[in-house]
Structure 1
Amino acid sequence: MAELYSKARTKWACRRGMLELDILLEPFVDEAYDQLSEQDKLVFQRLLEVEDPDLFAWFMGHEACPYPELDAMVKFVLDRVRA
């Protein structure tokens, strides 16, 4: 199960088709991923499965994420990256 969310695979999955998402996701993995709980790592992995246009809309505040766990992770990522 550890391979499911290895940091290297996760960082690779953060390379998206949109530079704006790369700028948010890659630093988060570098700076905060190791401190996430096992459950939060799984939630972050689920977030990375979402299509780029949806992620962009959620991270930029254009749309609300309809999934509470993913919405909480979006907010957590934004808080960590802005800090």
Structure 2
Amino acid sequence: MNEQSPQEAALRKRLYWHSRRGMWELDLLLVPFLEQRYDSLDEADQLAFRQLIDEEDQDLFMWLMRRDWPEDPDRRRIVQLIVEHAESADSIGHRPV
């Protein structure tokens, strides 16, 4: 098991709490993605995720519910990764409760 530096641990806590939006639909997508995929992302995608969670809930909802897509290519890519992760988890019966 890898030890996290105090800075890494603080960043992880911040990401976790910023991923918990208080909107159930967003929580079900963002938190599992953070817990299950974030560490395996390359640096650019990790940065895109950190920037994504600073967005407004209304925008996140529209993007993650596939009602609209972000114009920025990096933001669009991370949204697609999150949506694909949720769909793959759902298809194998690992939908978060």
Give the TM-score range, shorter chain.
0.7 to 0.9
| Bigger mean CA deviation after superposition, 58-67 or 17-26 | 58-67
1:46 aligns with 2:46: no
Aligned-partner Cα distance in 1 for 2:55–2:36: 22
Question: Which gives a bigger RCO, structure 1 or 2 (Cα 8 Å, sep 6+)?
Answer: 1
1:2-81 paired onto structure 2 within 5 Å: 3=8, 6-81=11-86
Number of corresponding residues: 81
Structure (1 or 2) with the larger CA radius of gyration: 2
| Bigger mean CA deviation after superposition, 12-21 or 47-56 | 12-21
Unaligned regions of 5+ residues in structure 2, if any?
A: 1-6, 89-97
Residue identity (%): 38
TM-score (norm 1): 0.87
Q: Deviations over 1:4-24 (max 9, x none)?
A: x83222111101031100000
Aligned-partner Cα distance in 2 for 1:44–1:11: 11
RMSD between aligned residues: 1.5
Q: What is the deviation of 1:64?
A: 2.0
Task: Return the structure number with greater helix share.
Answer: 1
Unaligned regions of 5+ residues in structure 1, if any?
A: none
Aligned-partner Cα distance in 1 for 2:27–2:39: 18
